[in-house]
Amino acid sequence: MTGAAPPTVSGVVELIAAGQAELLDGRGLNSSYRVAWGGRALSVKVHCAERSSAAEFRRIGRVDSALRGTPWYPPVLDLGFHGAERPGLVVVRPYAPGTPADDARRHISGVVDVLAGLAARAEGVRAEDALVGDYASPWLSGGRSELPERSERSLVDPLLTGEWRGLGRAMDAHLPELRRGAARLTSADGLLVHHGDLHGRNLISDGPGRLTVIDWDEAGFSRRPADAGKALWLSCRQGRGDFALDREAVGLFLGRLHSRLGLPYSGARDLARLGALWFLPRHGHVTLLERRDASLGAWYLGWLLRFWTRFRGNLDLVARTAAELEAGAS
């Protein structure tokens, strides 16, 4: 392989098939590899066939066009489908060296800086409806009907038996208020570039001032601050695997979000409600996880149940912290 030859989807897939690639750890639906190509390291994301589509191809390409040249964004080097019967989307990018931090609270300032950068790059962006959506979209009707909520809830219900009944009860108890909060933060005008999984462990640093954001497979466009809502929960918890929020971290996150993006403190509770929609189980996601590994479905449902066990107390902590910040600013 020559260093002058640009990487291609077909070339990197051949290396993966030949066992000349390193499979990276992950519990998601897609597979990630590190591939050596002409003296440089590449990151290769192979999307599962069930979620590979022409719309996904266009979505990743449009995001790449919007963000190319941003110092923390690894640009797409090649993008295409591979496979005969059920082709999967393959995305090739530069590999980001470095190690993510186990404690995401250390990266709160960096997360908010990226959120501000995404908002700046979104100015003037236009995207077709098929490319606009986030984790909240399946639970929101956009004012047309209540069908999406009922459909998602009824689809997942057969999975929430036995030890997972508490998860079903939590959904029924909280879903109406989550939808109302998300709707209040949804705008019909303008779009945000949406990373989809922005938290500390997806911010890689290999030295002072050098930061790269990885895992862009869920990127797209959103009409609400979905990245900020999800990052609030994932960046401010006291540790991985649990969901007790750290009051100091929440204060830092909300304070920087207010100063960099102008988010009013009065909207903090709704921001937390919006982010909580990501922690609702969806039938398609659970079944695809189980298809990849039989143990992943149970792991995922247990992880979500821990979130909802602490939800009400955490939501109150967010509201109190926001109120204190607002009082201190007045």
| pLDDT tens column, 136-153 | 999 986 433 344 555 788
pLDDT of residue 144: 39
User: Which H or E element spans position 254?
Assistant: helix 247-261
Stretch 79-100: mean pLDDT, rounded? 89
More confident residue, 205 or 319: 319
pLDDT at 273: 98
Q: How confident is the model at residue 209 (pLDDT cuts 50, 70, 90)?
A: low
Segment 123-126 long-range contacts (CB within 8 Å, at least 24 positions apart): 125/66, 125/191, 125/193, 125/221, 126/191
The mean pLDDT value of the chain amounts to: 89
Q: Tens digits of per-residue pLDDT, 210-246?
A: 789 999 988 999 999 999 999 999 999 987 767 899 9
pLDDT in tens, 245-293: 999 999 999 999 999 999 999 999 999 999 999 999 988 888 888 887 8
**CA-CA distance, 276 to 253, in Å (whole number)?**
16
Which is higher by pLDDT, 66 or 141?
Answer: 66
Confidence check: pLDDT of 165 > 80: yes
Q: So what's the pLDDT on residue 4?
A: 63
| pLDDT bracket for residue 27 (50, 70, 90) | low
pLDDT attached to residue 202 = 87
pLDDT above 60 for 3:
no
Predicted local distance difference test score (pLDDT) of residue 288: 84
For the record, the structure tokens of 144 come out as: 């047309």
What's residue 329's pLDDT?
83
Q: What is the mean pLDDT of residues 34-57?
A: 91
Instruction: Please state the pTM of the whole predicted model.
Output: 0.89
pLDDT given at position 146: 44
CA distance 82 to 12: 11
Residue 187 has pLDDT above 60, yes or no: yes
Q: Please check the confidence at residue 186 and state whether its pLDDT lies above 70.
A: yes
Say what the pLDDT of residue 148 is. Answer: 53
Count other C-beta atoms under 10 Å from residue 182's C-beta. 26
Average confidence (pLDDT) over 57-68: 93
Distances (CA, A) of 85 to 3, 18, 50, 108, 217: 32, 20, 12, 43, 22
Q: Tokens for 21?
A: 């690639």
- Token representation of residue 228: 């900020």
Contact 302, 295 (CB under 8 A): no
The reported pLDDT for the residue numbered 141 is 65
Region 156-177: what's the mean pLDDT? Answer: 93
Considering Cα of 265, then 270, then 272, then 274, what sign does the dihedral take? negative
In 10 A of CB 271, how many CB atoms? 29
Distance of alpha carbon 125 from alpha carbon 100, whole angstroms: 30
CB atoms within 10 A of CB 66: 21
**Can you give the pLDDT at residue 203?**
86
DSSP lists the bridge partners of residue 93 as: 43
